[in-house]
Structure 1
Amino acid sequence: MNWIEICVHTSQEATEAVSYILQDLGGDGVSIEDPEVLHREWDNWYGEIIELSPDDYPQEGVRVKAYLSSLACPDADAFVAQVKQRLEDLRSAGFDVGPAAVTTQEVNESAWADEWKKYYKPIRVTDRIVIKPHWETHEPASADERVIELDPGMAFGTGTHPTTVLSIRLLEKYLQPQQRVIDVGCGSGVLSIVAGKLGAGPVLALDLDPVAVEKAQENIAINGLSAQVTAKEGDLLKGVADTAEVVVANILAEIILKFVHDLPRVLVPGGVFIASGIIEEKRELVEEALTMMGLEVMETIHQDGWVAIAAKKW
């Protein structure tokens, strides 16, 4: 299906009013391109957009865009005329509506769905690990570098969130070649792929979401690890008969607490549990639960208010 994009170049003052007009006239969702974000200080940046290009924003003012399906809006010219009249009404009421320029273009749905990809670039997570969107190119800096190719899709992260970075740092430190790994809540499969690239033996990637499992399988194949890493649906560690030297989970503390009782069963003696996705305020809760299960907390590392824990079963 194709969509019609209605774009209004207006002032910052009129942004909210113009957004309301577009939605009131039937626009299905509104996006705002404000160059102010290019200069903003992100004090608590937990997203994964790596690059914002000035070319995507107006030099002055704001662009407000709304989208209508071509079926719902057979007469784009009539819609534009309505928008222009409402803008003139705003001007008459004393609003500074800026240029008030209205333009339209037809957007193909498949092209639109891929538009987000241009913001993601290769990024070095550790000295050895680089995460690269599979549509980008990257030349390894050394023979020891491990390049993780990822197509996260619009529903999953690109592997550069602090919780993922912390998990990768601990995997690098504790995972030994040929050790078995279980990745609980695998998402796009990035940690399972990292484990495979670091030389792990069989890796089992589990997620309750079938969409996540499908995406993980695609990423595992992209990295040539289908024979080494298996992704399948699973509810945490319920019913898992496999044992492993390393279990990793990058999920919320509340979810980790739901399956800590399974860790002594799944981890072999000397095995390590790597837990991430934990906010600082929940760290002690997780550490206490692990200790109660007979695991020894060996290390905690921190980044941007997030914590990752390495605990060992003796």
Structure 2
Amino acid sequence: MKWSEICIHTSQEAVEPVSNILHEAGASGVVIEDPQDLYKAWDTTLGEVYELSPDDYPEEGVIVKAYLPVNSFLGETVDEIKEAINQLLVYNIDIGHNKVTLSEVNEEEWATAWKKYYKPVKISDRITITPTWEEYERVHEDELIIELDPGMAFGTGTHPTTVLSIQALERHLREGETVVDVGTGSGVLSIAAAKLGASEVFALDLDEVAVKAAKLNIKLNKSQDIIKVEQNNLLDGIHEQPDLIIANILAEVIVRMTDDAFTSLKPGGKLITSGIIQGKRADVKEAIMNSGFEITEIVEMEDWLAMVAQKPE
């Protein structure tokens, strides 16, 4: 299958509306090349950030890219995108150079091009995440290595919400405890829990693709004897009484499951929630406390935060 890369040279102000226009036109995601990223102060406490090349960025403005399938409607779709971007002027939005270009990309090249940016990353005191195609040697004896093959469906395990979750697991999970991972995705948190000493992990996700991906990654990390993967909606029908529940999901979903989490956990058990943007902080905090938990820790990274709460003994 062939894909067409649509490249729009626009302004910082127009990035969000242009991205929305591309989504509405059928793009499943966008690439944003903003030269401001070259000068951003990155947190390198746990390792190096992949070095960005100025050659990949415009000298001014921002480039927004998306991928559309090459079909008989492509010409009409591109015309509609151009017209919608021009309409932003009506709302006094600066659209910058507004230069739109198209180039053809083979699916095989597109599907693997991102791999060159995915390198081993140390995300906590003990855990390093590395892609399956990279050679990596332990730096110290206590280092735990998670190998991931995220494919096109999931992230690389280095997003702030995942990092916050694994760091919280490292602080709060005791050896021999049981864990439920709600919304497991790639399975990375379940794998981390297993490597940190959990005796049993239940990895749950409603998405069939996630279940398959998690099973693959768990097998890659030889953790299938500890982790059981199931297709399941949040904590519905779960009768296990775990020592710890971890959920790296949307804040809107977290607030719907805090009562079930409180009921499921053993007395003294802990709930780790991540995936919370700053604007949802109060909502999640209120839901967790209303369910009967005591919040013991809130940690932040960039625009995201994680909360750790405990069920009374």
Offset at residue 155 of structure 1 (A)? 2.3
Offset at residue 108 of structure 1 (A)? 4.5
2:278 maps to a residue whose letter is: E
Which of 110, 115, 120 is equivalent to 1:122? 120
1:167 maps to a residue whose letter is: S
CA deviation string 1:26-82 (max 9, x = no partner): xx98x9997946735489xxxxx944345767999x99999898997xxxxxxxxxx
2:153 maps to a residue whose letter is: A
1:274 counterpart = 2:266: no
C-alpha contact 1:241 1:266 (8 A) present in aligned 2: yes
Q: Check 1:110–1:270 CA distance in 2 against 1; reply closer, same or farther (3 A cut).
A: same
2:221 match:
223
The Cα RMSD (Å) is 3.9
1:236 match:
234
Percent identity over the alignment is 49
1:109 counterpart = 2:107: yes
1:166 maps to a residue whose letter is: L
Equivalents in 2 of 1:174, 1:311: separation in Å? Answer: 11
Q: Check 1:178–1:33 CA distance in 2 against 1; reply closer, same or farther (3 A cut).
A: closer
C-alpha contact 1:3 1:68 (8 A) present in aligned 2: yes
C-alpha contact 1:251 1:276 (8 A) present in aligned 2: yes
Equivalents in 2 of 1:63, 1:303: separation in Å? Answer: 26
1:156 match:
154
Offset at residue 275 of structure 1 (A)? 0.8
Offset at residue 211 of structure 1 (A)? 0.9
Offset at residue 208 of structure 1 (A)? 1.1
Matches within 5 A, 1:132-171: 132-171=130-169
Q: Check 1:291–1:70 CA distance in 2 against 1; reply closer, same or farther (3 A cut).
A: closer
C-alpha contact 2:245 2:270 (8 A) present in aligned 1: yes
C-alpha contact 2:150 2:186 (8 A) present in aligned 1: yes
Q: Check 1:224–1:55 CA distance in 2 against 1; reply closer, same or farther (3 A cut).
A: farther
Equivalents in 2 of 1:290, 1:306: separation in Å? Answer: 17
1:52 match:
52
Q: Check 1:156–1:51 CA distance in 2 against 1; reply closer, same or farther (3 A cut).
A: farther
1:255 counterpart = 2:246: no
Matched residue of 2:245: which SS? strand
Equivalents in 2 of 1:52, 1:198: separation in Å? Answer: 33
Structure 1 or 2, whichever has the larger Rg, is 1
Equivalents in 2 of 1:133, 1:254: separation in Å? Answer: 31
C-alpha contact 1:52 1:119 (8 A) present in aligned 2: no
Matched residue of 1:114: which SS? helix
Equivalents in 2 of 1:253, 1:64: separation in Å? Answer: 27
Equivalents in 1 of 2:260, 2:70: separation in Å? Answer: 53
| TM-score, length-scaled by structure 2 | 0.72
C-alpha contact 1:248 1:273 (8 A) present in aligned 2: yes
1:286 match:
284
1:39 counterpart = 2:38: yes
| TM-score, length-scaled by structure 1 | 0.71
Matched residue of 1:166: which SS? helix
Offset at residue 146 of structure 1 (A)? 0.6
Equivalents in 2 of 1:286, 1:5: separation in Å? Answer: 39
Aligned length: 269
C-alpha contact 1:182 1:246 (8 A) present in aligned 2: yes
Q: Check 1:266–1:50 CA distance in 2 against 1; reply closer, same or farther (3 A cut).
A: farther
Q: Check 1:136–1:265 CA distance in 2 against 1; reply closer, same or farther (3 A cut).
A: same
Matched residue of 1:270: which SS? coil
2:188 match:
190
Q: Check 1:41–1:269 CA distance in 2 against 1; reply closer, same or farther (3 A cut).
A: same
Offset at residue 224 of structure 1 (A)? 0.8
C-alpha contact 2:10 2:63 (8 A) present in aligned 1: no
CA deviation string 1:176-215 (max 9, x = no partner): 1111100001111111110011011111111111111111
Q: Check 1:42–1:207 CA distance in 2 against 1; reply closer, same or farther (3 A cut).
A: farther
Equivalents in 1 of 2:300, 2:233: separation in Å? Answer: 27
Which of 196, 205, 208 is equivalent to 1:207? 205
Equivalents in 2 of 1:35, 1:300: separation in Å? Answer: 31
C-alpha contact 1:209 1:233 (8 A) present in aligned 2: yes
Q: Check 1:38–1:286 CA distance in 2 against 1; reply closer, same or farther (3 A cut).
A: closer
